[in-house]
Structures are given as C-alpha cells and as structure tokens.
Amino acid sequence: METGFSHIPVMLREVMEALSPRPGGVYADGTLGGGGHSEEILKRIGPDGRLYGIDRDPAALRAAGTRLSVYPGFQAIYGNFHDVKELLGDIRLDGGLLDLGVSSHQLDTPERGFSYHEEAPLDMRMDTGAGETAADWLNRTGEKEIARALYEYADERWAARIAAVIAEMRSQKPFETTGDLVRAVDRAIPKAVRMKDSGHPARRTFQAVRIAVNDELAPLTAALNDWVDLLERGGRLCVISFHSIEDRIVKRAFNTLRNPCTCPPQAPICTCHKQPVVKLLYGGAVKPSAEETQRNARARSAVLRVAEKL
C-alpha cells in the first residue's frame, strides 16, 4: 500500500444520510481519493452490492484500491469522472458521489507541488502520468491568460499584477518550484496587503493554477449531466465543493436540471415541454457541523448539494 495515504472523509455522516446506500445497490465514487467515503458505502451495500471507485490519480487508485480490495463489491477504475459514461458504459447507478478539488494526500505530499508551504517541483497534476505540469503551464501561457485564470478561478484581485510579475520572472529564469510561484506572489502583492491577509497570500494563485492545469471547471457542467443520466429513478447524486466558483457551477447545473424550461418568463404556457429531471434535497446547500470543522479544518469551506433523479 502507498504509505502516508490517509483520508478524513468530509461530511461523511451527511453524505451517507443523503446517499442512503442500500444492500445490493450499485454506486460510484467519482473521486475515490483516500477511499473514506467509498469504504463507508461498501460497508452498507454488502457483498451483493457494487461500488465503482474512479480516480485519475494513480497513487490514490493504488492505495485505496489495495485497501478496499477486501470488499468483494469494489472495482477501482483509472480515469477522470468527467468521462463517466466512457468509464461505466451502460451501468446504471443507485447513487453517485463527487468530492471535488484536491485531496488531503495530494496537499500533504510535497513533491506533488500542490502546497505553497513546501519547496517542491511545481507539478500540481492530479494525474501524474498525463498533461503538462504547473511549471509548464506558467512558462508557456500568455500573461493575459494567466491573469484571467487567477481572477476567474480564484477571485484574485491582484491577478493582473501577479501575472505581470510571473511574465517578468520567467523571462529571466523559467518557473520550476513552488517557491518560485510563492516568490512571484510575494513580489506582486504589497507587503501591507499581505500582512492583513488572514490566510497565505499565495493560496488563491495556487488554487487557480491547479484548476487550470487539471481543467477542473470547464467540463464540470456536462459531467454533472452525465452522472444524473446514469442514475436510476430515485437515485441520488451528492457533490461536495470547496470553493464558491465550483459550488456556483454545481448549483446552476442542478437548478437547470430541476427546471429545464426554456420558455420566456412571460409566456402564458410552456411550449418547450422540457420536464424536470431532478428534485433538490435539503432546500439547497448543506454545510458541515461546527464539531466537524473544529476537528477537521479542511472541512470549513465544504458545501454539499444533493439531486435526486425523478
């Protein structure tokens, strides 16, 4: 088993209540990670149930796959949850789970390059065997595109200035390490502003670069629709988000599935004949308990949304 691959599943109680796994049911965890959520599902569905654990991180797949192999109904699948229809084919699901964003193991493994606290190669790829690294992306992407990513993916108010400093620094020496990117942010944001920031000044930049490198947001709406398509009637899709931009996409996608009508608001009757596909549970978003956020700081920004197939 991979060493150091621990995982505290966020909002485990709330997810299990929403998903309500039943013995003999068929479920999929599109973001297997450390396997904490998956293991709880496997305990509940029993030997006659099936759980497909999908992840594009080979390290996560090896570690969780080995640990969960004691459950006869578990099958590990290498791939991106965005491609769920390719990965699962004609399999129908009683429920699905997506725990979006970076995993605890990825953050806690310095050589992966996700953390601004450690000097390490600037990688940030969730799938270490494919695509360009964060260093590659920063060294080849235009200044305006970098600024756009920082603003759109992380609401970074100093986006233009950070992008300008990145362009200036890379002209002298290509970006190679996490420390290079932290130094760029430090150089771009005035010290007085950095001193007032309650969090690390580079956190938004690291988030935006990670999202860009892994193409996390652009395919998300289509992926959510595909997951709902694979649900049986009454099946539920649980999605945990960790930042507002991601959550807005999930909220918008679920609301469109709940009310897909495209008729003008002033139209007296519906002529598009598009029927609701899901109903939303809990009246919107569910947040972790105060007890959980005290126990696990990474749960503080978590938001759970649940859609049930009609």
Query: 264-292 pLDDT, tens per residue?
Result: 888 888 888 889 999 999 988 999 999 99
Q: Are residues 145 and 63 in the same domain?
A: no
User: Rounded CA gap, 258 and 199, in Å?
Assistant: 37
Residue 3 is assigned to a structural domain of this protein: no
CATH assignment at residue 36: 3.40.50.150
pLDDT at 264: 85
Total domain count, the chain: 2
Domain stop point among 175, 193, 214: 214
Q: Are residues 135 and 274 in the same domain?
A: no
Question: Would you say 276 and 252 are in contact if contact means Cβ atoms under 8 Å apart?
Answer: no
Q: Are residues 149 and 296 in the same domain?
A: no
Residue 4 is assigned to a structural domain of this protein: no
Mind spelling out the 3-state secondary structure of the chain? CCCCCCCCCCCHHHHHHHHCCCCCCEEEECCCCCCHHHHHHHHHHCCCCEEEEEECCHHHHHHHHHHHCCCCCEEEEECCHHHHHHHHCCCCEEEEEEECCCCHHHHHCHHHCCCCCCCCECCCCCCCCCCCCHHHHHHHCCHHHHHHHHHHHHCCCCHHHHHHHHHHHHHHCCCCEHHHHHHHHHHHCCHHHHHHCCCCCCHHHHHHHHHHHHCCCCCHHHHHHHHHHHEEEEEEEEEEECCHHHHHHHHHHHHHHHCCCCCCCCCCCCCCCCCCCEEEEEEEEECCCHHHHHHCHHHCCCEEEEEEEC
Q: Are residues 95 and 224 in the same domain?
A: yes
pLDDT at 157: 94
Q: Are residues 121 and 207 in the same domain?
A: yes
Q: Are residues 161 and 231 in the same domain?
A: no
State the CB neighbour count (10 A cutoff) for residue 159: 22
State the CB neighbour count (10 A cutoff) for residue 138: 26
Query: 83-113 pLDDT, tens per residue?
Result: 999 999 999 999 999 999 787 777 778 889 9
Residue 162 is assigned to a structural domain of this protein: yes
Residue 22 is assigned to a structural domain of this protein: yes
Domain stop point among 214, 248, 272: 214
pLDDT at 302: 94
Q: Are residues 116 and 191 in the same domain?
A: yes
pLDDT at 6: 53
pLDDT at 274: 85
Q: Which residues of 212-235 are buried (b: 16+ CB within 10 A; e: fewer)?
A: bbbebbeebeebbebbbebbeeeb
Residue 39 is assigned to a structural domain of this protein: yes
Q: Are residues 194 and 289 in the same domain?
A: no
pLDDT at 198: 75
CATH assignment at residue 192: 1.10.150.170
Residue 7 is assigned to a structural domain of this protein: no
User: Rounded CA gap, 96 and 29, in Å?
Assistant: 6
pLDDT at 3: 40
Residue 25 is assigned to a structural domain of this protein: yes
Q: Are residues 16 and 73 in the same domain?
A: yes
Domain stop point among 199, 214, 229: 214
Q: Are residues 128 and 266 in the same domain?
A: no
Name the stretches of the chain with pLDDT < 50.
1-4
Residue-range definition of the domain harbouring residue 131: 108-214
